[in-house]
């Protein structure tokens, strides 16, 4: 007897044996059990997922003679079931749409449909690749398909659902066959291997399942090819050599080189691929899947089905790489590799293309996790100092500010606390609060003065209220800076705040927030009027109102550099102030 390939030898004979199509088989079994059987069925899906096999099982279920009605469990032993399995039944005609696609063939089918079955319960036509029928053939079939004789059934199968006319679709019950998940293909291959007494590892079967891309027939055909090469004992390296699959050690070496930023290791890897004779495009596809596994390992919990196909040993090897790469890094790596895989199709020198892609992802600057970056920016916007080491680099700068005071008091006593008054006149209040961490006590060094500036009333004068508002705005540097350049006056029971033209638009937009600061500063609701026209602090002090552009630019840079929010930004991004632009009202 001639050899029968695994795809035919292990073809399912009942609905329960169909792999990966539980929804379709359950629906058909329930329809058969309840007697709600349509007259036309359309089975659509990718290649090798069970369409034609399910059509034959459905035909056996309809015509099984082991009972007086259709059954969801055909016996497979009666004459009708055996003839359908062997393709020799007179009442079940299996034709292919590519060779019977004309109007004449459909006319013959219509004439034959008028007669009763020769022996079985129904006369059944299985038309494979039905989308190949011509437009005229489809039109000739419409009437028969809409109102067929009572003992006639049609079963259509196609891989190109979109090519079938809507007039045909509306007359059929439609069943969509999905691609078979890899884990179900591995289970099916293990069942076949045990039945054939073949020694093969689960990892090898998993690689065959991935190469089959969801097709059971492709998986069995690849398995058949591997058995022809290796015999009854299949080794992992045999599969890699025969099918051109990439050794997982090379994929792991590539991901480790990317995580470590090792350009030399990446180039040496390409050299190994060249010696190995591997296809560069195939390697790129496998590398994309490898980084996908790393991403799933990073985001999915340990018991998730997303990483169920990864064996524990493989997870342990990938875990260090996943810890070194963020999700943002992996997404950028996917983008680069996907473009490289496309470029390799037409590349004149595929090796150089792959080398440049690997070097690009190796040298790619690592990104902070988005949530961490958002948290740091929120701390910056709120004027909150960065945790732990952030304030340390600024301590020498703060200590250098009160140097003029050191000339007044030459005694080398380490007591910087008595010198805050000159510093207060030269340095904004938030900067002074940032200089306090060297003191041992957590409380401010001058609680009386702090409380005096934190609250005030209009009876104390508008300037006192303005200073109290500045103290209340320490957590919001963007609100405090315009207040420092503003002037305050009292108009009856109303506090009038005159902002410089540079801040007038900003003050109008945040008028409600300034009113809230005034309420906190005075301890009660206070009427606040926002106006524009106050002079800059230098002009009030009697200095020239007009300075040279370069001097003015330097002054603005110095003022901006002293701002706590700007200092936080410089520390966060490792930058420096190169220019300051004034807003125009």
The answer to whether the beta carbons of residues 164 and 130 sit under 8 Å apart is yes
The answer to whether the beta carbons of residues 571 and 386 sit under 8 Å apart is yes
Chain Cα centroid distance, residue 553: 45
With cut-offs at 50, 70 and 90, classify the pLDDT of residue 131: very high
Type and span of the H or E element at 44? strand 40-45
Chain Cα centroid distance, residue 357: 21
What pLDDT, in 10s, does the model give residues 132-169?
999 999 999 998 888 888 899 999 999 999 999 999 99
For 204, phi and psi rounded to 5 degrees?
A: -65, -40
The answer to whether the beta carbons of residues 205 and 193 sit under 8 Å apart is yes
Domains of the chain, earliest start first: 6-178 (3.40.50.300), 180-245 (1.10.8.60), 257-363 (1.20.272.10), 449-540 (3.30.300.180)
What pLDDT, in 10s, does the model give residues 190-226?
999 999 999 998 888 888 888 888 899 999 999 999 9
Distance CA 301, CA 322 (A): 13
Report how far apart, in Å, the C-alpha atoms of 248 and of each of 202, 265, 327, 336 are: 14, 16, 22, 20
What pLDDT, in 10s, does the model give residues 392-432?
333 333 333 333 333 434 444 444 444 444 334 344 444 33
pLDDT of residue 394: 37
Q: What's the half-sphere exposure (Cβ side, CA atoms, 13 Å) at 16?
A: 4
What pLDDT, in 10s, does the model give residues 449-497?
333 346 777 778 888 888 888 888 887 777 888 888 888 888 888 888 8
Distance CA 535, CA 542 (A): 11
The answer to whether the beta carbons of residues 526 and 546 sit under 8 Å apart is no
Q: Which of 112-126, 258-272, 372-386 has the lowest mean pLDDT?
A: 372-386
Cβ neighbours for 413, distance < 8 A, ≥ 6 positions apart: none
């Amino acid at each position: 007897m001639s050899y029968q390939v695994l795809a035919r030898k292990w073809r399912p004979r009942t609905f329960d044996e169909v792999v990966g199509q539980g929804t379709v088989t359950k629906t058909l079994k329930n329809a058969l059990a309840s007697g709600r059987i349509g007259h036309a069925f359309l089975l659509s899906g990718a290649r090798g997922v069970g369409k034609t096999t399910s059509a034959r099982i459905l035909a056996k279920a309809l015509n099984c003679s082991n009972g007086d009605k259709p059954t969801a469990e055909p016996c497979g032993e009666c004459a009708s079931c055996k003839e359908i399995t062997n393709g020799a039944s007179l009442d079940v005609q299996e034709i292919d749409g590519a060779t019977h696609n004309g109007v004449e063939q459909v006319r013959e089918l219509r004439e034959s449909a008028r007669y009763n079955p020769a022996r079985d319960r129904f006369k059944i036509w299985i038309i494979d690749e039905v989308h190949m029928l011509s437009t005229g053939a489809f039109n000739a079939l419409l009437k028969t398909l809409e109102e067929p004789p009572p003992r006639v059934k049609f079963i259509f199968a196609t891989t190109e659902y979109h090519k079938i006319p809507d007039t045909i679709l509306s007359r059929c019950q439609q069943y969509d066959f999905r691609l078979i998940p890899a884990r179900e293909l591995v289970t099916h291959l293990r069942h076949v291997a045990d039945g054939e007494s073949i020694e093969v590892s689960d990892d090898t079967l998993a690689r065959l399942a991935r190469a089959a891309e969801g097709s059971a027939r492709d998986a069995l055909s690849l398995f058949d090819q591997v058995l022809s090469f290796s015999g009854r004992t299949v080794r992992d390296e045999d599969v890699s050599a025969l099918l051109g699959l990439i050794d997982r050690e090379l994929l792991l070496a590539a991901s480790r080189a990317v995580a470590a930023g090792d350009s030399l290791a990446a180039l040496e890897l390409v050299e190994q691929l060249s010696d190995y004779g591997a296809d560069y495009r195939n390697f790129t596809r496998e590398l994309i899947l490898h980084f996908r596994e790393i991403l799933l390992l990073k985001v999915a919990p340990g018991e998730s089905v997303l990483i169920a196909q990864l064996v524990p040993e493989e997870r342990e090897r990938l875990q260090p790489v996943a810890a070194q790469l963020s999700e943002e890094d992996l997404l950028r790596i996917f983008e680069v590799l996907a473009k490289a895989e496309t470029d390799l199709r037409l590349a004149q020198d595929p090796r150089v293309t792959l080398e440049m892609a690997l070097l690009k992802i190796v040298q790619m600057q690592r990104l902070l996790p988005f949530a961490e970056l958002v948290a740091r920016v929120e701390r910056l916007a709120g004027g909150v100092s960065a945790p732990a080491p952030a304030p340390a680099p600024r301590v020498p700068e703060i200590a250098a500010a009160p140097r003029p005071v050191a000339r007044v008091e030459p005694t080398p006593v380490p007591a910087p606390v008595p010198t805050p008054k000159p510093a207060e006149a030269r340095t904004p209040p938030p900067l002074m609060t940032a200089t306090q961490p060297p003191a041992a006590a957590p409380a401010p060094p001058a609680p009386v003065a702090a409380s005096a500036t934190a609250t005030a009333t209009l009876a104390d004068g508008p300037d006192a209220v303005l200073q109290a508002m500045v103290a209340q705005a320490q957590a919001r540097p963007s609100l405090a800076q315009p207040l420092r350049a503003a002037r305050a006056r009292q108009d009856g029971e109303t506090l009038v705040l005159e902002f410089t033209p540079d801040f007038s638009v900003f003050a109008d937009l945040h008028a409600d927030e300034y009113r809230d600061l005034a309420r906190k500063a005075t301890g009660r609701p206070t009427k606040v009027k926002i106006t524009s026209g106050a002079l800059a602090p230098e002009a009030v002090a009697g200095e020239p109102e007009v300075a040279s552009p370069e001097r003015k630019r330097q002054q603005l840079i110095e003022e901006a550099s002293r701002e706590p929010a700007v200092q936080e930004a410089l520390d966060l991004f490792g930058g420096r102030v190169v220019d300051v632009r004034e807003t125009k009202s």
